Chains A and B, each alone.
Chain A
Amino acid sequence: MSNELLRVENLIKTYPARTSKGQPVRAVDDVSFSIEKGKTLGLVGESGSGKTTTGRAVLRLTEPDSGSIFFEGKDITKGNMRPYRRKMQIVFQSPAGSLDPSFPVWKIISEGPKAYKLLKTKREAVELSRELLLRVGLNSEDAFRYPGEFSGGQQQRIGIARALAMEPEFVVCDEPVSALDVSYQAQIVNMLIDLRQERELSYLFISHDLSVVMHLSDEIGVMYQGQLMELGSCEEIAKHPAHPYTRELLRAVPVADPRKAASRESRIIAFPEGSVNRGCPYRLRCPVAGEECGGERPSFRDLGGGHFSACIKE
């Protein structure tokens, strides 16, 4: 237990309805998981699955409605987050949006340490940012340029440098490569892996791209409509996916061997709009769904070896 870095229990975040007739949306619906020191949990799901909201809720950038968050054993669900922010950082999805265009790069990177009064002079701040820029593969003279002068991939590196400036132990990576060209994606992902090794970081890696997630996660959580559908080690999920939705996601991953690809089934089911409040949220798309799936919400069943699934059919 002393190895546990982050634990999330029964996290719920609801948003009020957008229209007068709509229902409130449960973006995060009773999600629980834990991450050990040095390990990476990948959170996968399509848009709207709640993975981004979960990532933000863990850092309390969005306040959860109920549930608990524990960091290094301490309850950080309520109260002042400031002491913990040093150790918990985030890399955002859109590189351009998360960098203030009116700030020069050195200011962006040193903003965090400056807020904690770790840097006293401008020179120290510039020094620090130069070091970090080199580490993420940029030039040290870039410290004086503005974000607008960089490409998306470079901006993302600046964002990573900024997160590293705080020397965190835990980093939430919110779709850090989704906005980048495929060629850049590999570079950034590899850099994240190197950094993880160097600095003994733990990641909560959020993405809709299962192949990327599988590449760098130790454990994987699959989310759908705010609920955790399956949770387990990367290997287990790749070889023995227990939930139909996980299988659907795996089918979408391109497979090198065309013969193997052809043998995979695919089924397209149209699903009606409207919120699903009863039973398993996936049942409207599920190829193996049955009557009983519309009853109670399936519980998260332990299949052994840290492998959990929320499907009653397996």
Chain B
Amino acid sequence: MERAKRVIRLFMKNRLAAASLVVFIIVLLFCILGPLFTPYDYSTIDVKNCWQSPSLQHPMGTDGIGRDTMTRLMYGGRTTFSITFTAVLISLLGILPGVAAGFWGGRVDNIISRINDALGAIPTFLMVIFAENMMGWGGGNYRYAMGVALIPPIVRIARSATMEVVGKEYVEAARALGVGSTGIILTHIMRNILSPIIVHVSSSLADTLVMCTLMGYLGIGVNPPEPEWGNIVHGGYAVILSKPIQMIIPSSLIVICVLSLNLIGNGLRDGLETGKERS
């Protein structure tokens, strides 16, 4: 745990990363707590007031059928983040086979790597589209497919990190002390493969967020009227030439999130990599 403190300290030194973390937390709070403060519901239709520009009543305007955009963004954020986080969590399942492949090598490694390569050969997007098609679209069923599509890189990273650790002398030392394989995996290996995985997770959060909103934007994401950031952008497309702000607002929100996640990931990477090198 002391090591974690060291990493956090280094991370905080990187002002850009720290600022991004703050920004991201603000956005999260906006989505989680925001709905408590708005008078609107995300499906309150008020067609007379459609396509309003930002005003006091509707700080971010209204959409095509009069729903308040800000409220929709708050709820939409919940949906988007829930899909994104679920997908990334599912991808973490790949740690286990990766460690297994790296630790035991030989045939186990062969089998796992082949399956992993086959899975990774399928382009993410096609897999997701296909899964959505199959499972009935809407309701964010595609989060499971996204999660699965994110597994191969994790397996690869876990595997190579494990292989690096397995070759180290302290693993041999642990064996000489009488520690069994399970013990070695749970302690030495797990602690030492965390950093590359964390770095990857942060960047995959950003990519998954983009992909999730992408699906929404193409109109093949969550079912309306349920809001999701990509959906909202999609909705704004109808009036892009007349009222471009309708697309700009949700897009900017998305861009801010993705940018912060990327910067956080960069900060984490720098923090973890320099934190490890101590002579």
Contacts and interface: CB of A to CB of B under 8 A. Distances in A.
B3 A162 contact: no
Given A102-B3, A102-B191, A146-B3, A97 B177 contact: no
Contact of B276 (A59, A89, A101): A101
A97 B170 contact: yes
A85 B188 CA distance: 19
Contacts of A98: 169-170, 172-173
Nearest to B277: A148
B241 interface: no
B278 A86 contact: no
A100 B192 contact: yes
B97 to A, nearest CB: 23
Nearest to B174: A111
B167 to A, nearest CB: 10
A59 B176 contact: yes
B39 interface: no
Contacts of A148: 278-279
A223 B220 CA distance: 72
Interface string B87-124: 00000000000000000000000000000000000000
A112 B177 contact: yes
A162 B170 CA distance: 12
A181 B203 CA distance: 44
Contacts of A294: none
A55 to B, nearest CB: 11
Contacts, number: 69
Q: Which of A92, A100, A159 has the most CB of B within 10 A?
A: A100
A61 B192 CA distance: 22
A90 B179 contact: no
B180 interface: yes
Contact of A149 (B175, B179, B191, B278): B278
A85 B172 CA distance: 13
A111 B176 contact: no
Interface in B173-191: 173-180, 183, 187-188, 191
A97 B176 contact: no
B168 interface: yes
How many chain B residues sit at the interface, stated as a range, is: 20 to 34
Given A97-B168, A111-B179, A90 B173 contact: yes
Q: Which of B3, B177, B191, B279 has the most CB of A within 10 A?
A: B177
Contact of A115 (B172, B178, B191, B278): B178
A90 B170 CA distance: 12
Nearest to A89: B176
B169 A92 contact: yes
Given A85-B178, A101-B278, A102-B3, A162 B173 contact: yes
Nearest to A152: B279
A13 B138 CA distance: 62
Contacts of B175: 61
A74 B177 CA distance: 20
Contacts of A61: 172, 175-176
Given A94-B169, A97-B169, A99-B170, A104 B179 contact: no
A102 B179 contact: no
Contacts of A112: 177-179
Contacts of B179: 111-112, 115
**Binding site secondary structure of chain A:** loop
Contacts of B276: 101
Nearest to B167: A97
Q: Which of A61, A115, A146 has the most CB of B within 10 A?
A: A115
A239 interface: no
A85 B177 contact: yes
A171 to B, nearest CB: 10
Contact of A102 (B172, B177, B192): B192
Contacts of A90: 173, 176
A120 B193 CA distance: 27
A108 B65 CA distance: 65
Contacts of B192: 100, 102
A99 B174 CA distance: 9
A21 interface: no
A117 to B, nearest CB: 11
Given A102-B3, A146-B3, A148-B279, A85 B176 contact: yes
Nearest to B177: A112
A112 B173 CA distance: 9
Interface string A124-143: 00000000000000000000
Contact of B177 (A99, A101, A111, A144): A111
Interface of B: 2-3, 168-170, 172-180, 183, 187-188, 191-192, 276, 278-279
What are the nearest 6 A-B pairs in CB distance? A148-B278, A112-B177, A85-B178, A97-B169, A100-B170, A98-B169
23 contacts: A82-B178, A82-B180, A89-B176, A90-B176, A92-B169, A92-B173, A99-B170, A99-B173, A100-B174, A100-B188, A101-B278, A103-B187, A103-B191, A111-B174, A111-B177, A112-B179, A115-B178, A115-B183, A146-B2, A148-B278, A148-B279, A149-B278, A166-B177
